[in-house]
Amino acid sequence: MKYHDHLSLEDLWARILLGLDVMHDAVQHTADALLPTDQLALLGAVAALREEGPLASAAANHIACALGILEAAVARETLGHRNVFDGVNDPELGAIGQVRSVPILSEKGADLDAHLAHLRMVLAMRDLLAARVDAELQIASLKAA
């Protein structure tokens, strides 16, 4: 995400729109991974988010719809869980970290999880964009006062 911190507002906005376009195309090509009604709803939410803009008043509804569909689809394709150590082994202190439960996904689930990760990356850029726009508006109001 550090890379996106250095983009202009216009470039960041363009990256978000491009990310939504890429996601729309990817969802169209993974028809067998989603239920047909879920695929249509997800495509509609992504298209509406793209068309109305990432900071539109209805964007939160489109985001919630897309996240809900993908999270439910990944949950349906979860075969089980396994424990994975996330940390390092220090020679003096021993294991430093934590054990996390990681889902075991089917092949479809892995594809859907990749879509979910892509959507979350786009949403992180959207959050950065919203914060930067808010900051510019607040700075402009301070200068006007």
* pLDDT tens figures, 31-54: 788 999 999 999 999 999 999 999
> 39-78 b/e with 16+ CB inside 10 Å = b?
bebbbebbebbbeebbeeeebeebbebbbebbeebbeebe
* pLDDT tens figures, 91-128: 888 889 999 999 999 999 999 999 999 999 999 999 99
Asked whether the whole model's pTM tops 0.95, one would answer: no
27 vs 126: CA distance, rounded Å: 20
Taking a C-beta distance cutoff of 8 angstroms, is the pair 60, 47 a contact?
no
